[in-house]
Amino acid sequence: MMGELMRHVVMMAGFMGMGLGLAYAAADLEIKTIDKACYAEIFEDSDFDKDDPHVRIQGPAQITNLTDYSGRNWNNEIESIIVGPNATMRVYSDKDFKGIEVILPANKRVAELSVVNMSDEIESIKLTCGG
Ligand SMILES: [Ca+2]
Ligand SMILES: [Ca+2]
Ligand SMILES: [Ca+2]
């Protein structure tokens, strides 16, 4: 019982984003080390514009609501995305993984989310490790 608790504490410390989905993720997933290839980067503007807000999400992650992610309101703001080499990303047009779902495979670079009708539409995200 104590060992189980400690493992979850160590695992939670590894999460960069303290999203609302964290408790669920901690209960559901088992990781021992951070997988540096399991990440996604989200950009407020198109074409991966680093002059505008952008943030890297370490996977695995379940973000039920982007209103306060990494200190900023990302709801309906994301216009381009880079998926890391060992990650699969699911993005949703509504919070709580509802609405339209788009699956972005490993190494996917979407310079303009309007091509999948998701520009400034995403409100929740699931990021799993493994291509
Ligand atoms: Ca810009
Ligand atoms: Ca935007
Ligand atoms: Ca939306």
Domains of the chain listed by start with CATH number: 2-129 (2.60.20.10)
pLDDT, residue 34, reads 87
pTM of the model: 0.75
Ligand 1 centroid–CA 121 distance in Å is: 17
Residue 121 has a CB neighbour count (10 Å cut-off) of 21
Structure tokens at 95: 């919070």
Ligand 2 centroid–CA 52 distance in Å is: 9
Ion ligand 3 neighbours (CB, 5 A) are 76, 93, 121, 123
At residue 66, does pLDDT exceed 60?
yes
CA distance 21 to 63: 5
Percentage of the residues of the chain whose pLDDT score is greater than 90: 73
Percentage of the residues of the chain whose pLDDT score is greater than 70: 75
Q: What is the DSSP string of 30-47?
A: --SS--TTSEEEEESSST
